[in-house]
Amino acid sequence: MTKLLPANWRSSVDELRDRVMHTFDRWLPENWRRESPVDLRNRPSSVFAGRGPVIDLEETDDDIVVTAELPGLDKSDFNVEVEGQRLILRGERKASHEEKGRLYHYSECAYGSFYRSVPLPCDVEAGKSTAKYRKGVLTVTLPKTAEAKTRSIRVKIS
């Protein structure tokens, strides 16, 4: 059975991921593209598996609301920034306990740094943004600019 897998399967998977990400970067709108290539092979294991926290993005008439799962983190472990039309989440989960005398064969404890850039669908007023963090869930509310609020398009159906 092991002869069915290529000997360099890890590098093949990494190469495939890099090709897919490069393809997306070529075809996505410029403000959605990654700033620089991300090489996950040399990064420490991350609580977010190298892609940042899981998020939900909701657009209402007046706001953009981004909800991110950041389990096990304190408020001081991460930063929230708005750069242009992107919400940036970055931080680090630190390993905080150490046990001696036990032998671990497999561990799912994750730690390391994370970075997530969330493209925003419209212009927001970054100075009026609010953030709440409770029980591992971050909720960021970003008010839309006046121009973005009036952006709706009505289509007459005849």
Dump pLDDT digits (tens) for 129-154.
Answer: 999 999 999 999 999 998 887 766 77
Q: Give the residue extent of every domain in the chain.
A: 43-95+106-149
Residues composing the chain? 158
**What's the CATH code, domain 43-95+106-149?**
2.60.40.790
Can you read off the two tokens belonging to residue 83? 């750069």
**CA 50 to CA 35: how far, in whole Å?**
16
Show pLDDT as tens, one digit a residue, over the chain (158 residues): 445 555 555 556 667 777 887 777 777 666 666 554 544 444 444 445 555 788 999 999 899 999 999 988 889 999 999 998 899 999 887 765 555 655 655 555 667 788 888 999 999 999 999 999 999 999 999 999 988 877 667 788 87
Please tell me the predicted confidence (pLDDT) of residue 133. 96
Query: Under a CB-based contact definition with an 8 Å cutoff, are residues 129 and 63 in contact?
Result: no
Nearest partner of 143 among 64, 82, 80, judged by Cα:
64
- Nearest Cα to Cα of residue 39 among 28, 27, 49, 50: 50
